[in-house]
Structure formats: C-alpha cells, structure tokens
Amino acid sequence: MPRIAGIDIPERKKIRYSLRYIHGIGPKFADDILAEAGVDPDKKAGDLNEQEVSLIAAAIDNGYIVEGALRRQVQQNVQRLRDIRSYRGDRHRRGLPTRGQRTKCNARTRKGRKKTVAGKKGVKG
C-alpha cells in the first residue's frame, strides 16, 4: 500500500481517486497534483513506482496544506470565531448550523438525536 503525505492510500483504485483519501485533497486538487507531477491519472495506485510516488509527495508538500496541518488550521479558525464572540462562533459553541440553515425542522446532523420534552402533551389551558 503506497504512503503519500503519511497516509496509506488504496492501491487497487486509480491514483486520481486514491489521492482523495488524503484530508484536504478533493477531485480538482487530485487532478492538479497529478498534472504537476506528470503522472497518468488512470494508473492504479499500486502500479506506481518509487519515483512517481516521490513526485506526487513533493507536489503535495510544495503547494497544499493537508491532514494534520489543515485540521489544526480549521480548528484555529473556529476557535478565533469563538474568541471574538461572533455570531458564527456562538453557533459553533452551541453545536448548531453556522451558515443560516433553518433549525425548526431538520438540522439533526448538527443538533444530534431528538431530546424529548416531557409533560407537554397533557397541558390544557
């Protein structure tokens, strides 16, 4: 299994798809990296030789923030929003959607499982 940027990538898939297993590399960046390294995108990741792997790793190291550094940068950005007490930082703090989505219905991904409120059904008045 080839290791690129400290990550084991699947060797049976084409390299253009295997690179996407690295956090911070999507379809466009994967194609850009392969073009920069001069590697055929349709080649399987397991069929790459050492020179091609090192060219891809060098292209990633030179121009892209990936994995731990990217996760750290995103976490610092969120922490900055919390520290300056912005609206978005407050939404992050409460675990609610930050980009204006409605929360009366849906938003279950951010809010988590439903919390049942007891004693609401039998109240008349």
In-domain check, residue 119:
no
Q: Please tell me the total count of domains within the chain.
A: 2
In-domain check, residue 88:
yes
Tell me the mean pLDDT in the region 106-113. 90
Give the pLDDT of residue 76: 97
- Write out pLDDT tens, residues 83-99: 999 999 999 999 999 99
In-domain check, residue 122:
no
For 1-125, strand residue ranges (E) read 3-4, 7-8
Give the pLDDT of residue 11: 87
Instruction: Report yes or no: 37 and 54 within 8 Å, Cβ to Cβ.
Output: no
Residues 6 or more apart in contact with residue 68 via CB below 8 angstroms: none
- Write out pLDDT tens, residues 65-80: 999 999 999 999 999 9
Residue 54 and residue 72 in one domain = no
Residue 43 and residue 73 in one domain = no
Domain that holds residue 96: 68-111
Q: What is the CATH number of the domain that holds 55?
A: 1.10.8.50
Give the pLDDT of residue 120: 65
Residue 53 and residue 95 in one domain = no
Nearest to 56 by CA among 20, 85, 96: 20
Give the pLDDT of residue 117: 83
Percentage with pLDDT > 70 across the chain = 94
Nearest to 54 by CA among 70, 37, 41: 37
Burial class of 8 by CB neighbour count within 10 A (0 to 12, 13 to 18, 19+): exposed
Write down the mean pLDDT value for the chain. 90
